[in-house]
Amino acid sequence: MADITIPKNLAVSDSGFLFLTSTGETFTLNEIGHFIFKQFQQNDSFETVKNKIAQEYEVDLNSLEKDLDDFIAQLKAYNLIETK
Amino acid sequence: MTKKRYERPIIIKHISGLMNKFGSNPTASYKSDIDGVAVEKLVEKFGSPLFVISEKQLRQNQREAYRIFKTRYPKVQFAWSYKTNYLNAVCSVFHQENSWAEVVSEFEYEKARRLGIKGEHIIFNGPDKSREALLRAMKEKAKIHIDHFDELYTIIELTEAEKLKAKVAIRVNMDVGIYPMWDRFGFNFENGEAWQAIKRIIAAKNLELVGLHTHIGTYMMSAEAYRVAAINLGTLAKKIKNDFDKVIEYIDLGGGFASHNTLLGQYLPAEQVVPSIEQFADSISSGLFELSFTNEEMPTLILETGRALVDDAGFLISSVIANKRLSDGRRAVIIDAGVNLLFTSFWYKHKISPAQPNGSYTENTTIYGPLCMNIDCIQDSIALPALKVGEKIVIHYVGAYDMTQWMQFIAMRPNVVMVMENGSVELIRKAENIDYLMERERVPEKLLLKKK
Ligand SMILES: Cc1ncc(COP(=O)(O)O)c(C=O)c1O
């Protein structure tokens, strides 16, 4: 179940370039940021995304959880995601 | 299966009109050692936060400044401005480099004496000198710089009552094109007040007028202002010679040369906008030479340079306590050094470096201190890479005024060490503790919970 949704007026390019059509704001994501965003677009839950990263990347779970929380807080502040 | 290298997820918002891309990063460099001693080692041994002073840098600054002035004007004497940093070890380095002491209070005067400075090598400035302090200064032949007429008359009265002589100078304030003009100290040049004070001193038989002093301001960005100041004091010296046949021993132009710290609100880094010591020296010497003093009249030039000699020799090491995201999405870092240790953060945008490589992605970050007070903000916005809890940062250029204006407030003052020229590290001020704090206090008997 998706606990994170992405607003409709948002476009993401293959290179991690983000465009918010409602405001004209643009953003850039780094590789892992882009990866996470794609998972959210596929309606993956926070837990699923976390586990996928932990499988693919060399990182301990605590650090990952902190970084993810922080990343999500930032996305929320920029109105790029909505959480339930 | 080998896993991919992890890097924390990052999103960067583009700001229209400004270049910003990944990797552009003014603080990508890090500072992992001070004069070859690892930050990590320093903290391990002396704790965090920690003030670190470089002996090498202090000496280099003083020698360089002396050389610059001495190659432009033949008679130069520096007097270390105690209030800028009066840790004994710091003063002692300057004294070993032949600086006199410039003090503005009785305890600073006493410090200088305890460090072995002779009275005649003390310049006693400031508006508050008690009768006892004045008497002592007279007996020890210190150079008393008179701030106001009340002080002048007290000195006259004391010399008469005690049958003493006093070596004095006057502090002069003047318009050198700097706003705001510092006119609260000393006697005004333009309206004739300074000349009136000079005449009164010359007429007093127990007072000897040995010098003329001014301090036009602090963190001065104009070298030209010093040329004007030098000419004004030189003109007074010439007039004293002319009218009273009295040769003035020295002209003291005070301190005030800007250091490499960038002021809040200043767009370009200080390195690019503040005049160099060479430029200040050029202005001052050209001003003095315009007056064409004869050899026997030529006054010694005294300089009370403070921040420009000590700022870049001081560092504050601090550790990350926590990372935060503020409500508007901004990153914030809490460190273990607060504004009680870094008074200068109220007017400087300090240069701050991570003490370890933290990657090249930076984010605008607000740095807060550990005090539970809203004012405890070390820097409002600085590009910093992600720092983990416990990692260190180094705050640069904190040698001036921080270690004198610091206070014990919520947190106590930490250790101060000096990295010596030979690479050894000496503790020069011990961290405060609860005993130190409570030693001065007394609780009235009836308030005691634990009865004796
Ligand atoms: C009389 C006097 N001399 C010297 C100084 C040192 O000034 P700075 O640290 O700006 O060089 C000061 C500081 O305000 C001062 O008041």
pLDDT in tens, B116-137: 999 999 999 999 999 999 999 9
For residue B211, CA distances in Å to A84, B75, B113, B143, B301 come to 76, 14, 21, 8, 10
Nearest CA to ligand 1 atom 16: B215
- Count each helix (H run) and each strand (E run) in chain A, helices first: 3, 6
Band (B26; pLDDT cuts 50, 70, 90): very low
Instruction: Check CB contact of A49 with chain B, cutoff 8 Å.
Output: no
Q: Which of B81, B129, B221 to mutate to test the pocket of ligand 1 (most atoms within 8 A of CB)?
A: B81
Architecture of domain B55-311: Alpha-Beta Barrel (3.20)
> What stretch(es) of chain B map to CATH 2.40.37.10?
33-52+313-434
Strand partners, B146: B170
Six-digit token string for A37:
């965003």
Six-digit token string for A15:
């290179």
What are the DSSP calls for B334-355, one per residue?
EES--TTT-GGGGTEE--EEES
Residue of B3, B5, B6 to mutate, interface with A, max A Cβ within 10 Å: B6
> For B440, phi and psi rounded to 5 degrees?
-85, -10
How many Å apart are CA A29 and CA B21, to the nearest integer? 11
The predicted model gives B67-71 an average pLDDT of: 98
Tens digits of per-residue pLDDT, B274-294? 999 999 999 999 999 999 999
pLDDT of residue B17: 53
Give the pocket of ligand 1 (CB within 6 Å): B 81, 84, 102, 125, 215, 218, 254-257, 304-308, 400
Domains and CATH numbers, chain A: 4-83 (1.10.10)
Partner B, chain A 55-74, Cβ-Cβ below 8 Å: 55-59, 64, 66-68, 70-71, 73-74
> What stretch(es) of chain B map to CATH 3.20.20.10?
55-311
How many Å apart are CA B44 and CA B150, to the nearest integer? 54
Instruction: Check CB contact of A10 with chain B, cutoff 8 Å.
Output: no
CB-nearest partner of A73 from B6, B7, B325: B325
Assess whether pLDDT exceeds 50 at residue B21: no
In this complex, do A73 and B12 lie within 8 Å of one another by their Cβ atoms?
A: no
Residue B254 Cα to ligand 1 midpoint, Å, equals: 6
- Residues from chain A that touch B11, judged by Cβ atoms under 8 A, are 18, 27-30, 33, 71, 74-75, 78, 80
Tens digits of per-residue pLDDT, B77-114? 999 999 999 999 999 999 999 999 999 999 999 999 99
In this complex, do A77 and B325 lie within 8 Å of one another by their Cβ atoms?
A: yes
Class of domain B33-52+313-434: mainly beta
Any residues with CB less than 8 A from the CB of B37 and at least 6 apart, and which? B419, B423, B425
- Regarding beta strands A57-58 and B4-5, do their DSSP bridges make them parallel or antiparallel, or are they unpaired? parallel
The ipTM, to two decimals, is 0.92
Assess whether pLDDT exceeds 60 at residue B65: yes
- Note whether B431 and B412 are within 8 A (CB): yes
DSSP state, B220? B
- Note whether B360 and B23 are within 8 A (CB): yes
Nearest atom in ligand 1 to the alpha carbon of residue B309 is 11
The predicted model gives A57-84 an average pLDDT of: 88
CB atoms under 10 Å from CB of B193, counted, come to 18
In this complex, do B329 and A26 lie within 8 Å of one another by their Cβ atoms?
A: no
In this complex, do B3 and A30 lie within 8 Å of one another by their Cβ atoms?
A: no
Q: Write out the H or E segment, with its range, that includes residue B50.
A: strand B50-54
Nearest atom in ligand 1 to the alpha carbon of residue B213 is 1
From B65-79, B137-151, B168-182, the region with the lowest mean pLDDT: B168-182
Assess whether pLDDT exceeds 80 at residue B25: no
Any residues with CB less than 8 A from the CB of B211 and at least 6 apart, and which? B143, B145, B169, B248, B249, B250, B251, B252, B299, B302
Question: Rounded to a whole number, what is the distance in Å from the CA of B392 to chain A's nearest CA?
Answer: 18
Higher local confidence (pLDDT), A13 or B49: B49
